[in-house]
Chain A
Amino acid sequence: MTLTSPPSKVLDPNNDTRKLELKALRLRKRQLKTMDNDDPSEISGKRGRSSWIVLIGLVLFALYSVGPAWWLIVSATKSKEDLYTTDAMWFANFKLFDNLASLFTYQDGIFGTWLWNSLLYAFASSIGHTVVSMAAGYGLAMYAFRGKGTTMGFIIGSFLIPGALLTIPSYLLFVQIGMYDTIWAMIIPAFFSPFAVYLSKVYAEGAVPSELLEAARIDGAGEYRIFFQISSRLMTTAGATIFLLHFVGSWNGFFGPLVYLRGADKWPVMLGLYSWLQRGTDSTVDLTGLVITGSLVATIPMVILMIAMQRYWRSGVAMGSLK
């Protein structure tokens, strides 16, 4: 009851609730009104137009991005007779299962081996790559030591060397140390990446407060324990990013395996598909259809990985250690 209310009126609880209901209704109406695009007011009119333009742009961009993937899906369902002779963006006779069957049986079913190799190389090398980069970046960010500036200089400087330039020297080195034509040539060299070290250094500087480390030291934790139990958890987002970037890179890796591996049984899937594609042009067999189906199958692990790792970025952004 307020002072401004008419004295003759006695407070009536039912009336009060009615008022509240009306108020809520009015509020809802107003909300609906502001959400409505046909609002005749000038400002929202302009906003409507520009949002349409943005929407059209986004739709076009989406089509542009999805187009190749759509083509891949459609083409994977065609027989080789239909591949070149029917509409590229629409289905012909549905032969996906026949294609899959020949994909996994051609050349004694070597495609399965290639997939497995790719998974092994990508997982093993990405895990090592992530652990080494995070530890090195964290060390550079958190400790002061003699030669820190020089080390950082070397790391930044090595960005300038294109990876392809190192292929032949690496090949000769691997031959000398006996790593050539072994799976280790695909895994161990991938542990070391200056860019990933730099990335995790920058992230650690922002995400790991030095007060926390001091507190941990006072509580008697050793440096390794601090890194593995506290700091690495604060750096999950950087770790996930580094892992994913490298995983994708390793999965699509081509030139390394081409030079460092000898026999087809150790090839990853991308190199195998390339060998089929090359064979398609100047021989009696045209393997283009198998390559298309194989490419579709080979993208599936990437899609699964992307979806599975999304949560790391979501929680990573909201995560703070000092609540």
Chain B
Amino acid sequence: MSLTNTKRKALSISAAVAAIGLLAGCGSASAPAAPAADAGPVTIDVWGWDAESTQHVVDAFNASHDKIKVNYVLQASNTATQTNFRNVMESKKDIPCWIPGIAPISTVLVNGWAQDITKYIEPIKDTYSKGAQAAAQVDGKYYGFPAGPSATFMMANKAVYEKYGLAVPKTWEDFVTTGKELKTHGVTVINLAGEDPSTLLQMSQQAGANWFAIDGDKWKVNLQDDATMKAVDIIQKLVDNDLVAHQTYKDRPALYSYFDSGQLATVPLAWWSMTGYQTNFKASLGQWQAVDVPQFKDAKQFVSSGFADPGFVPVGCEHPAAAVEYINWTSSSKDAIEAGRNKKTGSVGVPTNLADVSAYTADVVPDKIFGAQPAAEVGAVISKAQNAAVGKFERGPNYDAWFPELQDQWGKAMAKQITLKQAMANVQAFIAKDLDSKGIKYEVSK
């Protein structure tokens, strides 16, 4: 339960942008050349739910900066942050100056939560990857801080591929062919959980789809364009030929034991989930190999998928410059990244938004799961994926409403009750109805 129960004004995008413009009218029309601290020492609250490294980073920041003092407020979880943020926006007291990503940036904007911070980001944007920059913008303006996705790569069970004399597929089209081969030996090529359509979103993103776009004062919605259909087509073939497993993420022990059993050939993943797999695998430890995510056959260049919800500076924060200066420092300064190093394991996370992460990826590779494949090589796979991340995948103003519907429809498609193509049409119809009910202007592009 949260303040969403109180009737929120649904804003069209232009009204939202205008409203933000008014609310965030920061007096000075001339943008500073670089993010400078506001005059005099200021104290800002930053929120987050990371309990391991952020406090150390904040301490390091406070020790090395005298114009800005940062106070870190630890929240219980992503969900708790959303609840408490809605409340604080209602009470208008102690509004924080920084919130990590809690929703797609367009949703944040439509809710009237995020300030336009373009003038502070412009001078520093090149520190960050193109994908990270794209993810933080709505309609060409920065409403969030550049945020990189944890990009997708794959783990292939080398032992399985070698046993049947197969090569790990490099294109999605080959993925289907290889899947058919593996099926004859009773092995599935990939796991598609019935409750998790993220593979579809990620493949659509790779193919170049954008389900939502902003066109003047209205949204353009299209879940059935050619790019999306490329992804739909591949997944449909995998499902029709029974080449996939449907292990749910809700039952972790069963999921891990299936992944570990040699009955599954390939697992898409992001850098942070490697450790979890190593902890819970037994039989297959050392048999896995990190490989690039497959591409579509006619792809012009190598791209990887992954979504990022950028953090933002809330409307009502009086020191946006200070907030951006702090976040920029934590994201890019060597001292900050050092301060975040885990005292026990000695590793830092991958700073996913940087333009080049190759210095950090080898450190996060666990020691057993990849067997003979050296950490540097796995790291190279990860940085290749990070550097090629598309970053942007507009999820529209009502993601909270349509994503559960997509889950339902995806589940039906996985159970072969409908085709994935029908599912997409159904979700699009649902989105149209929902936007109507919220009074948000849109058009469905053909």
Interface positions of A (Cβ within 8 A of B): 80-81, 84-85, 88, 107, 164-165, 167-168, 171-172, 175, 180, 258-259, 262-264, 267, 271-272, 274-275, 278-279, 282-286
Contacts and interface: CB of A to CB of B under 8 A. Distances in A.
A267 B79 CA distance: 16
Contacts of B282: 85
Contacts of A279: 49-51, 77
Interface stretch (B169-177, B250-258, B425-433): B250-258
Contacts of A80: 279
Interface stretch (B83-91, B181-189, B199-207): B83-91
A81 B279 CA distance: 5
Given A84-B256, A171-B91, A284-B364, A164 B279 contact: no
Which has the most chain B C-beta neighbours within 10 Å: A107, A165, A168, A279? A168
Given A85-B256, A164-B1, A264-B74, A172 B51 contact: no
A88 B279 CA distance: 17
B165 interface: no
Given A81-B280, A85-B257, A171-B87, A262 B77 contact: no
Interface in B276-294: 276, 279-280, 282
Nearest to A278: B77
A164 B2 CA distance: 10
- Interface SS majority for chain A: helix
B253 A85 contact: yes
A110 B50 CA distance: 14
A180 B94 CA distance: 11
Contacts of B77: 274-275, 278-279
Contacts of B253: 84-85, 88
Contacts of A267: 76
A271 B256 CA distance: 28
B279 A286 contact: yes
B74 A284 contact: no
A168 B80 CA distance: 14
B51 A284 contact: no
B78 interface: yes
B73 A263 contact: yes
Contact of A278 (B79, B84, B272): B79
A271 B79 CA distance: 13
B43 interface: no
Contact of B49 (A262, A263, A275): A275
Interface string B116-146: 0000000000000000000000000000000
B445 interface: no
Contact of A271 (B2, B76, B279): B76
Contacts of B1: 164-165, 167-168
B93 interface: yes
A165 B3 CA distance: 11
Interface of B: 1-3, 5, 49-52, 73-80, 83-84, 87, 90-91, 93-94, 252-253, 256-257, 272, 275-276, 279-280, 282, 349, 364
A293 B74 CA distance: 22
Contact of B76 (A88, A258, A284): A258
Nearest to B345: A284
B91 A175 contact: yes
B275 A258 contact: no
A282 B91 contact: no
Contacts of A259: 83-84, 87
Nearest to B87: A171
Contacts of B90: 168, 172
A264 B49 CA distance: 10
26 contacts: A81-B280, A84-B280, A85-B257, A85-B280, A167-B1, A168-B2, A168-B3, A168-B5, A168-B87, A168-B90, A259-B87, A263-B73, A264-B74, A264-B76, A267-B76, A274-B77, A275-B49, A275-B80, A278-B49, A278-B78, A278-B79, A279-B49, A279-B50, A284-B276, A285-B275, A286-B276
The 7 closest A-B CB pairs, nearest first, are A278-B77, A275-B76, A84-B253, A264-B74, A175-B91, A284-B272, A284-B275
A274 B77 CA distance: 8
B51 A264 contact: yes
B272 A282 contact: yes
A167 B78 CA distance: 19
B79 A84 contact: no
Contacts of A284: 272, 275-276, 349, 364
Contacts of A164: 1
A263 B91 contact: no
Given A165-B1, A278-B78, A284-B364, 12 more contacts: A80-B279, A81-B279, A107-B51, A168-B87, A180-B93, A259-B84, A262-B94, A275-B77, A278-B77, A278-B79, A279-B51, A286-B279
Contact of A258 (B49, B51, B80, B349): B80
Contacts of B91: 171-172, 175
Contacts of B84: 258-259, 262
A264 B256 CA distance: 32
Contacts of A175: 91, 93
B272 A283 contact: yes
Contacts of B76: 258, 264, 267, 271-272, 274-275, 278
A84 B83 contact: no
Which has the most chain A C-beta neighbours within 10 Å: B91, B253, B275? B91
A171 to B, nearest CB: 6
Nearest to B280: A84
